[in-house]
A and B are shown apart, each in its own frame.
Chain A
Amino acid sequence: MVIHVNGEQRELLNDIQTVSDLLNHFELADKKIIVELNANIVDSSQHEEITVQDGDRVELVHFVGGG
């Protein structure tokens, strides 16, 4: 499966099905994060239900404290 993550094309294994799987894959699961899937923000309560498909455009923005 090929999806676009933050503007970059990424080839992903097919066992990644949900937004949660995707966040685990990128080691972002424990972060405060805003997920946009094809220009729609996904509620954090739905990360385990919403699935990602080939060709999707995903934006992942996580909050960091440093400065």
Chain B
Amino acid sequence: MKERYSRQILFDGIGEEGQLKLQKKHVLIIGAGALGTGNAEILTRAGVGRITIVDRDYVEVSNLQRQQLYTERDANDRIPKAVAAQKRLREINPDIEVDGKIMDVTVEEIDRLVSNVDLIIDATDNFDIRFLINDVAQKYGVPWIYGGCVSSYGISFTVLPGETPCLNCLLETIPLGGATCDTVGVIAPAVQMVVAYQAAEAIKIFVEDFEAVRRKLVSFDLWKNEQSAIDVSRLKKEDCPSCGESPTYPYLSYENQTKTAVLCGRNTVQIRPPKKVNRDLNALVTQLEKQGGAIEQNPFLVSYHSENRRVVFFKDGRVLIHGMKDIVEAKKIYHQLLG
């Protein structure tokens, strides 16, 4: 046992005491894509006692360039990511407990998932779920680590309830639209850099070295050779509805959820953002043009047709995904196109 972890036990920041603490900790990793697989592999090898990894998707061949736990066979067999990840992680380290869950995380699931968890790692691909994580983390006092990446750019921030600002303090509203891995791509080194920031913070938190936790919002661009770190402590808001003095945890309430509905008899799923928005259709068209496919636009909506799939975006924010009744699949397409 000691042999396996000897090199990190030799490291001053961890030591034997730190290793014992790691073995008693439980991490919840939400998302088993690029960031999720990277974080999970590091924490599995480091000997974190219990790892729960949750994902709603299955492995596709376009994942293999950066999602490090999966093989071509997983993609050919369309194995759910939670299943393929669990199998590989157990092979890497049979001494720890690994639990892969196939699950679309919404407000109902997240409450159950966070019980007895020491840390949440955000490895998701959209801000709807991040605002949910942010609120549930505040409600139960669980630290969480935001991570995001597209193209050669990445960003991370560690939220410590009661100490740092939260995601709601920094952003105030859920960002709508924006570049995604499916529109502008992503390179694996950018993923790995974010993973390195997240996993290092996770280990500091597990060994309870809170002094060492990075308090700054960090970002980088590996292609433009830029890096940045901003002290955002002044952005913590006393009246923040998520982490302020009288929190209401707005994103745990039904009104603020992204709503989905299968439209009867139309083989279509409607997705509606929590609040009415005024979608910039011209900007959307510019973004969709990068992906090919046929685009039609009128003053009220944009219709996008690609690979036997038609998606209609209304100016008020509603999106119709035609040709399916599967809400999980529809949400996946929605977030792939809009972030």
Whether A and B are associated in the same complex: the answer reads yes
Q: Using a CB–CB distance below 8 Å, which chain A residues touch chain B?
A: 5-8, 30-32, 34, 36, 39, 41, 59-67
Is B232 a contact partner of A64 (Cβ separation < 8 A)? no
Q: Which residues of A contact B154 (CB under 8 A)?
A: 64
> Quick check: B226 and A66 within 8 Å, CB to CB?
no
Chain B, interface residues (CB within 8 Å), range: 35 or more
What 18 new A-B contacts, CB under 8 Å, besides A32-B175, A41-B234, A67-B36?
A30-B283, A34-B217, A34-B230, A36-B230, A39-B231, A59-B229, A61-B217, A62-B219, A63-B171, A64-B149, A64-B153, A64-B155, A64-B179, A65-B150, A65-B175, A66-B149, A66-B181, A66-B186
| Chain B residues with a Cβ under 8 A of chain A | 31, 33-36, 122-127, 130, 147-150, 153-155, 170-171, 175, 178-181, 186, 194, 217-219, 221, 224-232, 234-235, 280, 283, 335, 339
Q: Closest 7 A-B residue pairs measured CB to CB?
A: A6-B226, A65-B339, A66-B150, A64-B148, A67-B35, A66-B181, A6-B228
**Chain B residues in 8 Å Cβ range of A64:** 148-150, 153-155, 178-179, 339
CA distance A6 to B232 in the complex (A): 16
A67 touching B226 by the CB < 8 A rule?
A: no
What are 28 sample pairs from A and B whose C-beta atoms fall under 8 A apart?
Answer: A6-B219, A6-B226, A7-B226, A7-B228, A8-B224, A34-B217, A39-B231, A41-B232, A41-B235, A59-B230, A61-B228, A61-B230, A62-B219, A64-B148, A64-B153, A65-B125, A65-B126, A65-B148, A65-B175, A65-B180, A65-B339, A66-B149, A66-B150, A67-B31, A67-B36, A67-B123, A67-B148, A67-B149
